Amino acid sequence: MIRWFLGLDSSTQSLTASLIDPVERRIVAERSLNFDAELPHYGTRNGVLRADDPTVVHAPPLMWAEALDRLFARLRAEGLDLSRVAAIAVSGQQHGSVYLTAEAPAALAGLNPARGLPEQLRGVLARATSPIWMDSSTSAECEEITHALGGPERVARLTGSAAFERFTGPQIRKFWKTDPDGYARTAHIALVSSFIPSILAGRIAPIDPGDGAGMNLMDIARRDWSREALAATAPELARRLPPIVPSSTVVGPITPYFVARHGFDPAARVLVGSGDNPCSLVGLGLVRAGMVAISLGTSDTYFGSMGECRVSAEGEGHVFGSPTGGYMSLVCFKNGSLAREKVRDRLGLDWAGFSRAIRATPPALGGRGLMLPWFDPEITPRVLRAGARYRELSPDDPVVCRAVVEGQMMAMRVHTRWMGVRPSCIHATGGASANAEILQVMADVHRCPVHRFETTASAALGAALRAVHGGQADRGGAPAWEEVVRGFAEPVAGSRVDPGPDTAAAYDAMERAWREFEAAELAR
């Protein structure tokens, strides 16, 4: 019998399952359960619970648990034989935290298949809701941690990122400060990506370096908890955290609850979970240093694989452990698709007209002008005063169509240089990746081939591929990652875009001028 491997992605709004067959190189099934639509009794909107304070955003962890039962029941009702699943790996929205009492291990080990998960787990939550990545209520805690650790550069070098409001460490510190009794009741702190494997394996699951790095608590170079960061966050935190283990670690066999209730093989292995960004890295096939993805969405995101641990001295971007054993970087640029749309709309164009304007304008605008597309406050670099900046350009000139895209690509080129890895190829995703002219600018500025990559569930697929690698490694034969992703994480056939033969010098000159322009504007 050919065995299947299951990846689960618990995102903000849904739980997605990707079931794959690595022998025939095919996705057997891909199904999603929307939390709002199918679990309305939790009262979420877009998967979250909002407070009167707009900076506070939580979610109910029991909803994530119930979604497991619902999704497995659906797969089985569709005739999928879950006894064929050899291993399961989980992807979870990064930074979200779950707080469990000392009674949690016994409850997880003794799950009764005749009763649902929510009623059995409700009593082991030291905190009824979980702060998630959208929560930005911990500015004071970020400042306190940063001060205790010696400044933002020191925090970034130690943990892989400057202290961010959404990161788990500042959230834990706020919980300790505002609800000391709840913190005292907390015996185990989990991430979303470790909470779900804990349920699946019936024991408290460890945390992997991919998601552990999203906490401001892990020593990024040692891939273990930083005693210094723990001490700066909350008292007696070390005993509340599970160990950090490699991403290929097997937590254990699936708990009998899921065998009896959903027909899983009792020998199915549950792997340690990881964050959605590290799992997406695998789901997009970025398994070698120099392989990069650029997601062209509301915000543009640049992320890729690094062989060595490097961090930005300016605190730009984040560094996480990679499931492949090295490291990954992630840098977010807030002015993405909305900036391109604002240029298009100001000029009264549709997307076809936007593309024609790019084609009609020479690379690097022929050296005639520059644009910094900061229509909204920018994350990278940090810009608080919104407003696009122009040098020798009019915002009503159609050449701004090329200028906005070149400005975005040049920002990525400049503000990812700290990685020390020149991209060897780029996988372009997101809605704007369908625009051939944008992809050509991307290839020209970054000087490497660009491939269009279509995927709607890269994190779930990446989790399934992690299950393949970890499941086989547990049996003594770890396959090469290139072999694991082959046939699954493939770009669109025939989509390759190569850099133009005569554009390198133009963009080198543009970079020098662009750096000067940006520095002058930031100095204001």
Q: 3-state DSSP call for residue 321?
A: strand
The token pair at 268 is 């199915």
Reading the block at residue 507, the tokens are 């963009």
Nearest to 197 by CA among 208, 212, 186: 208
Distance CA 436, CA 438 (A): 6
CA separation (Å) from 367 to 393, 493, 518? Answer: 11, 34, 16
Which contiguous run of DSSP H or E holds residue 201?
helix 192-201
pLDDT in tens, 282-296: 999 999 888 999 999
Contacts of 365 (CB under 8 A, 6+ apart): 393, 399, 402, 403, 406, 510
Q: In this predicted model, what pLDDT tens digit does every residue of 373-420 receive, in sequence order?
A: 999 989 899 898 899 999 999 999 999 999 999 999 999 999 999 998
* pLDDT of 299 over the 90 cut: no
Judge whether 481 and 20 are in contact, CB under 8 Å.
no
Contact 76, 263 (CB under 8 A): yes
Cα–Cα dist 352/372, whole Å: 23
**Would you state the pLDDT for residue 2?**
77
Give the pLDDT confidence score for residue 329 in this predicted structure. 93
Q: What is the CATH number of domain 4-279?
A: 3.30.420.40
Please give the share of the chain, as a percent, with pLDDT higher than 90: 88
29 DSSP β-pair partners: 19
The closest of 333, 351, 344 to 294, measured between CA atoms, is 333
Is residue 466 a contact partner of residue 279, using CB atoms and an 8 Å limit? yes
Tokens, residue 442: 């991307």
pLDDT tens-place string over residues 96-152: 999 999 999 999 999 999 999 999 999 999 999 999 998 999 999 999 999 999 999
pLDDT at 314: 83
The whole-chain average pLDDT of the chain stands at 95
Please determine, for residue 456, whether its predicted confidence score (pLDDT) is greater than 70: no
- CATH 3.30.420.40 in the chain is located at 4-279, 337-452+496-523
Q: Does domain 337-452+496-523 have CATH number 3.30.420.40?
A: yes
Q: In the structure, what pLDDT confidence band is assigned to residue 315 with cuts at 50, 70 and 90? A: confident
Q: Which residue has the higher pLDDT, 240 or 524?
A: 240
Residue pair 9/276 in contact by the 8 Å Cβ criterion: yes
DSSP string, 139-179: HHHHHHHHHHHTSHHHHHHHHSS---TTSHHHHHHHHHHH-
Task: Provide φ and ψ at 332, rounded to 5°.
Answer: -110, 135
CB 416 within 8 A of CB 329: yes
pLDDT in tens, 157-216: 999 999 999 999 999 999 999 999 999 999 999 999 999 999 999 999 999 999 999 999
Torsion angles phi and psi, residue 325, rounded to 5 = 110, -20
The per-residue pLDDT for 472 is: 86
- Give the residue-averaged pLDDT of 224-236: 98
Phi-psi region of 234 (alpha: psi -120 to 50; beta: other; left: phi over 0): beta
Mean per-residue pLDDT for 48-61?
94
Contact 509, 364 (CB under 8 A): yes
Cis peptide before 61 (omega within 30 of 0): no
pLDDT range class, residue 59, cuts 50, 70, 90? very high
Share of the chain above pLDDT 70, in %: 99
Q: Model pTM?
A: 0.90
pLDDT tens per residue, range 234-266: 999 999 999 999 999 999 999 999 999 999 999
Mean pLDDT, range 326-343, rounded to an integer: 94
| Residue 477 pLDDT greater than 90, yes or no | no
